[in-house]
Amino acid sequence: MQAVDGQGGSVISYAYKASLIGSAHRFELTDEGLSWHIAGRSGLWRYDEISAIRLSFRPVSMQQHRFRADVSHVKGGRIAILSTSWQTAALMAPQDNGFRDFIVALHARMAKAGSRAELTAGLGARTYAAVLAFLALLAVAMAGLLIRALLIGEFAGVLFILGFAALFVWQVGGFVRRNQPRRYSFDQLPAGLLP
């Protein structure tokens, strides 16, 4: 959402509810910097004081299409901006366009301010390596089960294992592909990590 502040500058805002209980997390891009209001705390970070941004894809059971931006300050603070908002006890609503517009505008303003922030995408390298190692072990175990089911002629088991493997690859494959660790630049944001 874009508005004009009292001094004639443009303000872009974004808000989401991180939990069902509590107030919304509110963010604004002002001419001075990133203004945030979270759980009774607030602050203003100048664009050149933002030390890092990490974009990632973080699905949860209530919302399989959820994105996250972790914004870090040079003095050690960190805030998370999510692309979904709690509506009711059973509904987490996506806010894709608002999230995308806010993150793109944040990067544009940081670039204009001459920011030297570290821009990374996906999971950390160690976490990603651990995920790949776990998936490799799981693949070996599933292959062993499949071979055993074929050898004893348990074709219902074979179909179950193949169906489960296909569902697992569909669900987890997108997460692993999108969250591959990498760096990006202000003018080339990773499309897979924005809604």
* Measured distance CA(106)–CA(81) in Å, rounded: 12
Q: Binning pLDDT at 50, 70 and 90, where does residue 21 land?
A: confident
Write b or e for each residue in 100-138: b if 16 or more Cβ atoms lie within 10 A of its Cβ, otherwise e.
bbbbeebbbbbeeeebebebbbbbeeeeeeeeeeeeeee
Minimum mean pLDDT among 18-22, 120-124, 151-155: which range?
Answer: 18-22
**Amino acid code (one letter) for 81:** I
Show the tokens assigned to 61. 């059971």
Domain of residue 13 covers 2-122+179-193
In the chain, % of residues over pLDDT 90: 66
Q: What is the CATH number of the domain that holds 23?
A: 2.30.29.30
- pLDDT value, residue 62: 61
Same domain, yes or no: 12 and 58? yes
Same domain, yes or no: 154 and 103? no
What is the average pLDDT value for the chain, to the nearest integer?
88
**Amino acid code (one letter) for 178:** R
Q: Binning pLDDT at 50, 70 and 90, where does residue 18 land?
A: confident
Domain count, the chain: 2
Contact 166, 99 (CB under 8 A): no
Same domain, yes or no: 82 and 160? no
Q: What is the pLDDT of residues 38-89, one digit of tens each?
A: 988 999 999 999 999 999 998 876 667 789 999 999 999 999 999 988 876 6
Q: Provide the phi-psi class of 76: left if phi over 0, else alpha when psi is between -120 and 50, else beta.
A: left
- pLDDT value, residue 93: 80
pTM comes to 0.81
Q: Look at residues 102, 101, 19, 13 and name the one whose alpha carbon lies nearest to residue 60.
A: 19
Average pLDDT rounded to a whole number, residues 127-139: 94
Q: What is the pLDDT of residues 85-98, one digit of tens each?
A: 887 666 778 888 89
Quick one: which H or E segment has residue 188? none
In DSSP notation, 110-139 reads HHHTT---EEEESS-HHHHHHHHHHHHHHH
- pLDDT value, residue 4: 44
Same domain, yes or no: 28 and 72? yes
- Taking CA atoms, 60 is separated from 51, 84, 145, in Å, by 27, 10, 28
Same domain, yes or no: 26 and 79? yes
Identify which has the larger pLDDT, 169 or 110. 110
Same domain, yes or no: 74 and 133? no
- pLDDT value, residue 64: 72
Q: Look at residues 93, 72, 71 and name the one whose alpha carbon lies nearest to residue 81.
A: 71
Same domain, yes or no: 85 and 153? no
Contact 161, 148 (CB under 8 A): no
Same domain, yes or no: 56 and 15? yes
